[in-house]
Amino acid sequence: MTTTTNSLESASEARKERLIALRRRKLGQDVEEGGERSKEPFRFRQRNFDPETRTLRKHNAAEGEVDTVENQVQGLAEKIIAEDEERRNQELA
């Protein structure tokens, strides 16, 4: 019973230390320097919103075509249907 209590206490202490480190990181404090301010404060990353123009950012297709499953299987259904029709015609002939 004591070993489970000790392991729970140690796990609790480790979690508390991680939460404190995370809180410091979010506040822009450097964890290694013991709470002193880091060179650059924490800033939210705004990937879809442009704060200068106060509009949504539009991604250009020229930036790079994303290889998705939809792009990979485009036209595959039509190809399979055409092959199936061809096989049916060969079996009937």
Q: Hey, which residues does 42 pair with through a beta bridge?
A: none
Q: Let me know the angle formed at the C-alpha of 51 by 36 and 59, rounded to the nearest 5 degrees.
A: 115
pLDDT at 90: 92
pLDDT at 47: 77
Distance, in Å, from the CA atom of 19 to the CA atom of 31, rounded to the nearest integer, reads 11
Report d(CA 45, CA 43) in Å as an integer. 6
DSSP state of 79: H
Rounded distance between C-alpha atoms, residue 13 and residue 19, angstroms: 10
pTM here is 0.30
Whole-number pLDDT of residue 3: 73
Q: Block means of pLDDT (10 residues each) for the chain, length 93 residues?
A: 80 93 79 54 74 80 69 89 94 83
